[in-house]
Amino acid sequence: MRDRRRKRTIVVMALDRAARLRVALERDGGTCIWCGRAFTAQITPSTEHVVPRVKGGPSWPENEVAACRRCNADRGHRGPVEWLEECERRGWEPDGARLVRALTQLVDAIAREGGQRRARPYVDAQLRRLRRRAAPRGAGLA
């Protein structure tokens, strides 16, 4: 158990920032999670931490998605669901499904790897909030 965890940490840390961003882009496609714009030479991607690092979010692939630099900067340290709702107020088209998937995979990764005492309750609260939002529309997040 310990060994596996250490190996994973080494593998994750060995990927530099650019490589981790490529992983997120290949997994999720070349659009910003928050505004939905496609990345171009002008709209460049950056690594966005679903759970902000100041809230204890780990630098794991499960906690990293691609966002354009504008959205990344505008969001600051706001929680992902609060910021998702702000994006909607601005008339953007945030990728709620991608956020649910990222948070769900992060829950699984934390369950597997252990630790993350600060991030765990934060992720759970964000997912509950997302599910409450989705429930009236029956978006199938149960």
Residue 49: Cβ within 10 Å count: 21
Q: Is 113 within 8 Å of 5 (Cβ atoms)? A: yes
Residue 35 within binding range of Zn ion, rule CB under 5 A = yes
Residue 87 within binding range of Zn ion, rule CB under 5 A = no
Residue 127 within binding range of Zn ion, rule CB under 5 A = no
Residue 24 within binding range of Zn ion, rule CB under 5 A = no
Q: Which is nearer to Zn ion, 32 or 81 (CB)?
A: 32
* Cα gap 128→122, rounded to integer Å: 10
Helix, strand, coil percentages (3-state) for the chain, rounded to 5, are 60, 10, 30
Residue 71 within binding range of Zn ion, rule CB under 5 A = yes
Residue 66 within binding range of Zn ion, rule CB under 5 A = no
Stretch that binds Zn ion, among 27-35, 95-103, 109-117, 121-129 (CB under 5 A): 27-35
